[in-house]
Amino acid sequence: MPQVRQSSTGTTGVNKLVAHAFGVRLVSDVPERLCRWGIAPRLDAKRRERLSRIRERGVLFVHVPKNAGTSVSHMLYGTQVKHATARYYAKVAPGMLDLPSFAVVRDPVERFLSAFAYARTGGTRDRIVSEPFRGRYEAFRDVDCAIAHLQRARSPFHLDHIFRPQAWYLQGPDGALAVDRLVPYDRLDEIADMPGLERLGGIPRLNTSKRRPCGLSERQEAFVRDFYAADCDLFAWACAG
């Protein structure tokens, strides 16, 4: 039987105490929390290496979860930049947001349904839901359980990355959109149209003919669109561009 790779963001033991002290569920969120408090965190070697890869490429890709970001990140940098936000980059790497930048955005309802399916199964063979959330998410009986989880969360830090608003990753310290371009999820080929990326190979291709049907009631869809209202605006703006 193949071994399931363990999550590196699991929060147990001492890490659980550290996360609790900073008001987060994932210890990997502590640097992000510090940035939002106006404090530049001390970065470990892995985080410094990710910043170095971005500078070498000369393009900043902000990885929004559930939006094909793993494939795009590997294509650009040969590694994963993880789910760092624009505010994080602004604090830990002054000038990083001056690079040409972009992100992939997705229809909030489609993204929520993708996150819900991922959450209920605990992830995939290669990537699993972070330990502090895994048991709760695998116990979701239906969509309403996931909606209740969103309703109870006092901050995005109380949600796993897969359920956090897309806007949360893309807003700078002033609350404004901090990336130069938004690419719709079903138009990933537009990445190759960006200056400096014309010869980029390996752009992910999506089979749009096999998308998951909506599967939400009118009430549920209304909640999702209201909860992710800022994301709806970002996606509409991206599609109009």
pLDDT in tens, 131-148: 999 999 999 999 999 999
Would the pLDDT of 27 be above 50? yes
C-alpha count within 13 angstroms, C-beta hemisphere, residue 25:
16
Kindly give the residue spans of alpha helices, DSSP state H, lying in 69-206. Answer: 69-77, 86-92, 108-120, 131-138, 143-152, 166-170
46, part of any domain: yes
Q: pTM for the full model?
A: 0.88
142, part of any domain: no
Tally of CB atoms within 10 A around 99: 17
190, part of any domain: yes
Confidence category of residue 3, pLDDT binned at 50, 70, 90? very low
199, part of any domain: yes
pLDDT tens-digit series, residues 65-96: 999 888 899 889 989 999 999 999 999 998 99
208, part of any domain: yes
203, part of any domain: yes
Q: Where in the sequence is the domain holding 91, given as residue range(s)? A: 23-106+166-240
Residue 101: strand, helix, or coil: strand
The pLDDT value recorded for residue 5 is 34
136, part of any domain: no
How far is 150 from 45, CA to CA, in rounded Å? 34
Encoded amino acid at 9, one letter? T
**Rg, C-alpha atoms of the chain:** 18
Residues near 27 by Cβ (< 8 Å), separated by ≥ 6? Answer: 9, 11, 15, 16, 18, 19
91, part of any domain: yes
Would the pLDDT of 165 be above 80? yes
How far is 168 from 190, CA to CA, in rounded Å? 23
The pLDDT value recorded for residue 127 is 81
What is the number of structural domains in the chain? 1
